[in-house]
A and B are shown apart, each in its own frame.
Chain A
Amino acid sequence: MKKQNVLRIGCGAGFSGDRIEPAVILAEKGELDYLVLECLAERTIGLAQKRKMLDARKGYDPLLEKRIITLLPHLIKNNTRLITNMGAANPIEAAKKIIEIAQSQNVKIKVAAVTGDNVLETVLNNASSIHDLENNKPLSNYNIVSANAYMGAEPVIEALQTDALIIITGRVADPSLFLAPMIHEFGWKIDDYDLMGKGTVVGHLLECAGQVTGGYFADGVKKKVEGLDKLGHPFADVFTDGSAIISKVEGTGGVVNLRTAKEQLLYEVMNPHEYLTPDVIADFTTVKLKEAGKDQIHISGGNGKSKPSTYKASIGYKAFYLGEGEISYAGAAAYERAKLAADIIQKRLQHIFNDIRVDFIGVQSMHKTTFDHSGTPYEVRLRIAARAGSAEEAALVGDEVEALYTNGPAGGGGARKYVNEVIGIVSTLIERNTILPQVNIFES
């Protein structure tokens, strides 16, 4: 149990593709007890399963190696433990890779790999009796490639009870990665739902890293933020009662204020009265935020009641092949020529695809409307997209767009074409006892 009454947890990554430098600054200068890297989204786990299918030794985060090589010396020097879900579809191979890196740096460490989120076998065995939440269709209707349940803080706590420096997991709910060290250090009871709720609020505020420090918040006009090029990532000083102060390393860019904290608090919240994680049903309508100093936000409140009786699982399935083509028009009548090109493509493709998406980039591609921002754009990029049953069929979209070079309207340039296999994701609920988390220890 921790002797002092404050615990410092940093968040060095808010998604798989996040920058590495802010995490290194946190590990080096943040005086952290724990560094968390949250790198696994709904979409990311599907992509990771795809990589594992191609190579059984892969399927962990593509940036894992790069991140660990740079972070490890700082973690050891400052006695900071790392918790990350970079294990993605393959925590065991991820742990082995970390051990390999430690050996090449001549350091002795332990790594704990938390597994058990992979429920593919269970789901496949019961596919006709389990339904998805989106369409209420039996899962046997899908060409399933992956099934991962969100685990909570408990298996991470078990891993923390070993002396592993690095805890690497697969699918764990984002706030649970942060809640686990609070429970472990402060000796909180996991059925003290008010504390679980409070810790979850702190985790939720940290989990998107650069959002709460002003990165994805900034707009340069109404929300001006200094030093975005050297944006710092956040840390929280958490107190034993579950309150906390969110801040960032001095000298880094960005800002932590009431506005950044409020945006992050409400991010991806389906119901602020009942924010569901595997650990707790938290109430965000009781959270109190106040500015406590420069780049410091004090958080309190955010109670909780019970925990969900089921786990949410994401099911990855082979959905379709996406075919895309793009071409640009500029100068006089650019929009008219782009519309003419779109019309030609639609006539050529409509007998093959039943849903063809046409976007005029620079006009109305994002929201299907302009909210009165009409006028004559100098340049317009035409984008055509369609779902196809095979890669060959999907390629027809880009081929037809490219053919506009000689068959379409005047002055089209810069054609590009893309074909991608799409792994779709649907959710389902599964019983808690379906999941058997395991902690696996590796040593360098």
Chain B
Amino acid sequence: MKLFDIAHSRAGDKGNTLMLSLIPYNEADYEILCSSVTAEKVRMHLKEVVRGEIIRYELPNISSLLFVCHNALSGGVTTSLAMDTHGKSLSYALLEMDI
């Protein structure tokens, strides 16, 4: 199954850094996400997009994960040549991951 089936996500940006939240629809699935969606797996999944380090933060208080991806936006909002300069659409790239 894909992450899309059990979780949702929103992308944020600061300069050339991308943040992706990962939030299970059912809070009981938080543990599954913690064990199966590691920073390394996200790095492999987004290898065409993210050039730098990915840091995973666990937020058990809201049963959610946050991935902070460095060097991920081809320069970032003002100087990127991409159409989606903010990387706003990348939340759905994360949700394409098979688990």
- On A, residues with C-beta under 8 Å from B are 42-43, 46, 133-134, 211, 216-217, 219, 222-223, 259, 262-273, 284-289, 301, 319-320, 322, 355, 357, 359, 361, 365-369, 371-372, 383, 385-387, 422-427
Contacts and interface: CB of A to CB of B under 8 A. Distances in A.
Interface in B18-64: 19, 21, 23, 25, 48-49, 57, 59, 61-62, 64
B19 A267 contact: yes
A371 B66 CA distance: 21
A262 B62 contact: yes
Majority secondary structure, B binding face: mixed
A264 B12 CA distance: 10
Nearest to A364: B48
Given A263-B10, A267-B12, A365 B83 contact: yes
Contacts of B17: 270
A267 B96 CA distance: 20
Interface range on chain B (Cβ under 8 Å from partner): 35 or more
Given A222-B25, A367-B93, A265 B77 contact: no
A222 B1 CA distance: 15
Which residue of A263, A357, A423, A425 has the most chain B CB atoms within 10 A of its CB atom? Answer: A263
Q: Which 3 residue pairs are nearest across A and B when measured between Cβ atoms?
A: A268-B12, A266-B21, A357-B81
Contacts of B23: 259, 262-263, 266
Contacts of A424: 78-79
A118 B38 CA distance: 42
A285 B48 contact: no
A322 B61 contact: no
Nearest to A283: B61
Contacts of B59: 266, 272, 284-285
A319 B78 contact: yes
A366 B84 contact: yes
B81 A355 contact: yes
